Structure 1
Amino acid sequence: MRVLLAAPSSPARLHNLVPLAWALRTAGHDVKIAGRQSFVDEILRTGCVAVDLGTEDTESAALAEFAELWRPEVVVADAQAPAAGVATIRLLGPLDESGPADFDTAYDTVPPSLRDSSDARPVRHVPYFGPVVVPEWLRRKARRSRVLLSLTDVTLAGPVFDAVAAVDAEVVWATDSTRIPAGVTMPPNVRLVDTAPPAALLPACSAVIHDGDASLALAAATHGVPQLSLTETAIGARIAAFGAGRVGSAEHVAELASLSGAATALRDEIAALPAPRELVAALTR
C-alpha cells in the first residue's frame, strides 16, 4: 500500500506523524512524507523518504500534483497540512484544539480525557522528539529523583529556582549558564547540562516543569510523570483538570509529588488506546 503523509513546517507536528509513518513502514508499506523545501532536512532526520513541495506558494499545488502522479491509497495529513486533492485522513495531536472540517476520517493522539469533545478516533500517543543520544551523565544511576526543567523563557528561572531549592531532587536543565538572568542565584540541586533529551530522561523523572510545551506535556502524561506548566495552554489546563498536573506559579512545585496517582491513571489510559500498528490495520482495511 502506498501512503503519503503531509506535514506542515513544524517539527512538533511532524513528530506527531512519525510513529504512524514507522508503523506503516515496518508493516511493509511504501511511505513518503511531503513538506516544503525548507523542511526536507527535518523530514529526512526521521529516516523516512521526503517529497519536496517547494515553497509555501507552491506547496498545495505540488502536493496535489504528486498525489495524482503517485496515486497513494491513503493520504494522512496533520491538521495544518494542505489538502492533497484526494480523500485525506487527519491525524490530530497536542497542538490541535479540535478537528478540522475538511477531513474524511480523523484520529487523535490526545486521549479522550484530555479533549472536551471530538469526533476523532483515539490512537495511542508515542512520544518522538527526533534523533537523540543518551548523554553520559544519564547512563549513571541517580542518587535521588530527577526533575526535568524545560524553559524557553529564561525570565522564569528565578521563581523556579526559589521553588525547587527545597525539593529533594536533582533538577536538570539543558541550558548554558550564560542564559541565567543576572542576579538570579542557582540552588545547588539544579544541574545544567548540554542536553537533556526527553525521550531518554522522562522514564527516569519524578516530575517535569515546563513553560507550555504541548509536545512535552503529552509526552510526560504518556510516561505518567506529574507536571507543572508555567504558562497556560489548552492541553496543560486539561492535564491539570485531570489531576495529573498544575498550571501557573512555580509555587505549585511543592504539590507535584501528590499528583503521582492521577498521573499514573492518565498514563494507563493512554497505554490502553490502540497503538499506531492497529491504526495501520484499520487503514489497510
Structure 2
Amino acid sequence: MRVLFTVIPEKTIFLSMVPLAWALRTAGHEVRFACQPSFAPVVTQAGLTAVPVGRDSDVFRMARRDPDGLEAARVGLHAPWDTAEDPSKARWEPMLNGYYDAVEKGHKPENFPMIAGLVEFARHWRPDLVLWDPLTYAGPIAATATGAAHARLLFGADVFGVARAHFLRLKAGRPAGERADHLADWLGGYARKYGAEFTESMTTGHFTIDQFPRSLQIEAPELAYLRMQFVPYNGTATVPGWLWSRPARPRVALTMGLTATDLFDGYTIGAQDVLDALGELDIEVVATLADAERAKLHRVPDNARLLPFVPLHALAPTCAAVIHHAGPGTLGTVARYGVPQLSIPYSFDEPLLARKLAAHGAGLELGHTGATGAAIRDAVQRLLNEPRFTARAAALRDETLALPTPNQLVPRLEELTARHRTGAPHDHR
C-alpha cells in the first residue's frame, strides 16, 4: 500500500515518526513524507523520501519579535488542551475561546501553507493511508479529499484527543443554536471545498497510534488507540569512544532538549547553578548544552563533560540517572532503558508526563520554578541512593518493551487501512 506521512516543520515531532515510517518501508510498502520545502533535507537525512509541498512558513517568526507572544506560545496560553488531565477545568466558554485561539493562531498558520500542495500531491499519488501528527491537520484534509484512511501518530500525551472529548460533551449539552465549533468549522470548510463533508475523524483520525505505555498516557474513551513501543531516533548520530567503557563513577546526564533553544529563548533552569551543585557529588555529569547556553557559563566543574549533542539512545543505557525537561522524546527514550529520571517540566504535555512518571515511581518531578541547583542535586542523590526508583524504572522499561514494535504493528495498519479507505469522493483529475 501507499503510505503518506505529513508533519509541520518541527524536528522533534518528525523524529518520533521515523521508526514507523521505516517499519512500513521495510515491510514493502511505498512511503512518502510530505512537508514544507525547507524541511525536506531533515526528511532525506533520515533516509526517507521527501515530497516538498506548498511554501515555507515560520509560525514562531512573529512571536520571536514579541517576548510576550513568545512566552504565550511556549506555555500554550489560551489553548484548550490544559483541560485534558483535569475534566473539572473543562468549561464551555474557556474551551470555545481556546479552540478559536488554537485554530486562528496555531493550526491555520501552521497548516495553510501546505494544504493545497498536499491535496494536489495526494490526488496524484493516491495514498491508501495518511499518517499525521496531532498538529498537522493538512493530513486529514488531504485524506478526506482522496478517500484515504488516516490516523494520528502521537508524539506525546494525547492532550488533543482528550480535550476534544471534553469539548464535545460540553457542546452536546448546549442549546441547539449555541454549539459553535471553530475546529470543525475550519476543517469542514476544506472538506466541502474538496467534495466531501466534515466528520469528527478529521479532528482525531480514524484511529490513533500511541507510542507510550498506559502508565504514562491519558486516553479519550471514545477513540480507538493502537499502542506501539517508543523506539528512539535521534537523527544522525555517532557514538564517541568514551561511551564504549563503563563509567568509573555513577553517570548522570543532563539534557533540556532541542525545542528550548531551537524555537524559544533558552532553558528554564540555570545551567551554571545546576552544574555547580552537581559538582559537589561524586558522579560523572554529561551535559548536552546548546552553544547559546554553554556561552553563558563562567566555569565547568571537574566532574562535568559538556557536549552540544550525544545520541540519547547511546548515552541513556550508561547512566544511573537522567535529568531532563520531560519532553516526550527524551522521557520515552530514557524509560526504554530502565533509568531513573528527574523531570523538570515547563509547558504543554511536559507537566502531565512528569506527574505520570513520578506517580509510577520511576523518577521524581521538580517544578521549574523550584529547580535550583541545590534542589536538583538533592533529587539526584535520592535517585541514586533509593533502590525503589531503579526498580520502578525497570518496571517501566518492561512495560514499554512489552508493546508491539513498529514492525509488529504494520499488519494491523494494513487491516485498518482496508477497513477505512473509501476512495476519492470525487475524481478531479
Q: TM-score under structure 1 normalisation?
A: 0.91
Where do residues 1-285 of structure 1 align in structure 2 (5 Å cutoff)? 1-55=1-55, 56=57, 57-81=112-136, 82=138, 83=140, 84-86=142-144, 87-94=149-156, 96-99=158-161, 101-118=203-220, 119=223, 120-151=225-256, 153=267, 155-175=269-289, 179-182=295-298, 185-232=299-346, 233=350, 234-248=352-366, 249=371, 250=376, 251-257=378-384, 258=386, 259-285=389-415
**Where does structure 1 lack aligned partners over 5 or more consecutive residues?**
none
In 2, the alpha carbon distance for the partners of 1:114 and 1:206 equals 21
Deviation string for 1:219-249 (max 9, x for gaps)?
Answer: 1111111111223422122111211121213
Q: Which moved more, 1:148-157 or 1:220-229?
A: 148-157
Aligned counterparts of 1:5 and 1:142: Cα–Cα separation in 2: 40
**In structure 1, what is the equivalent of residue 421 of structure 2?**
none
Deviations 1:91-135 (A, max 9, x none): 112264242634111111021111233432211110111110112
Amino acid at match of 2:35: G
1:5-61 superposed Cα distances (whole Å, 9 cap, x missing partner): 111211111111111011011111111111111211111111000010122543012
Which residue identity is paired with 2:229? R
SS of the residue corresponding to residue 85 of structure 1 reads helix
- Aligned partners of 2:326 and 2:274: how far apart in 1? 14
Shift of 1:70: 0.6
The structural deviation recorded for 1:282 is: 0.8
Which range is displaced more, 111-120 or 27-36?
A: 111-120
In the aligned structure 2, how far is the partner of 1:246 from the partner of 1:54?
43
Which moved further from structure 2: 101-110 or 35-44? 101-110
Q: Give the counterpart letter for 1:46 in structure 2.
A: A
2:260 aligned residue: none
Q: What secondary structure, in the 3-state scheme, does the structure 1 residue paired with 2:4 have?
A: strand
Worse overlay, 100-109 or 146-155: 146-155
Once residues 201 and 240 of structure 1 are traced to their aligned partners in structure 2, the CA distance between those partners, rounded to angstroms, is: 22
CA distance in 2, matches of 1:23, 1:223: 21
**Cα pair 2:158 2:217 within 8 Å, conserved:** no
Flag the 1:194–1:157 CA change in 2: closer, same or farther, 3 A: closer
Counterpart CA distance in 1 for 2:410 and 2:128 is 12
Structure 1 residue identity aligned to 2:402: A
State the TM-score, normalizing by the size of structure 2.
0.62
Please identify the structure whose Cα radius of gyration is greater: 2
Q: Output the CA distance in 1 between the equivalents of 2:325 and 2:28.
A: 39
Aligned twin of 2:70: none
| 8 A Cα contact 1:237 1:247, kept in partner | yes
The residue type equivalent to 2:325 in the other structure is D
- SS of the aligned residue for 2:3 comes to strand
Paired residue for 2:199? none
C-alpha separation between the residues in 2 aligned to 1:181 and 1:95? 34
Q: Secondary structure at the match of 1:125?
A: coil
Unmatched runs of 5 consecutive residues or more in structure 2: 58-111, 165-202, 257-265, 416-429
Q: Give the Å deviation of 1:139.
A: 2.8
- Structure 2 Cα separation of the partners of residues 247 and 52 of structure 1: 40
Equivalent residue pairs, number:
283
Task: Choose between structure 1 and 2: higher strand proportion.
Answer: 1
Q: Is the 8 Å Cα contact of residues 54 and 116 (structure 2) preserved in structure 1?
A: no
Asked whether the equivalents of residues 158 and 218 of structure 2 are also in contact (C-alpha less than 8 Å), the reply is no
Rounded to whole Å, the distance in 1 between the matches of 2:345 and 2:276 is 17
What CA distance in whole angstroms lies between the structure 2 residues aligned with 1:194 and 1:62?
A: 36
> In 2, Cα distance between the equivalents of 1:30 and 1:15?
19
Q: Is the alpha carbon distance of 1:274 and 1:178 closer, same or farther for their aligned partners in structure 2, counting shifts above 3 Å?
A: closer
Gap change, CA 1:196 and 1:58, over 3 Å in 2:
closer
Q: Secondary structure at the match of 1:58?
A: helix
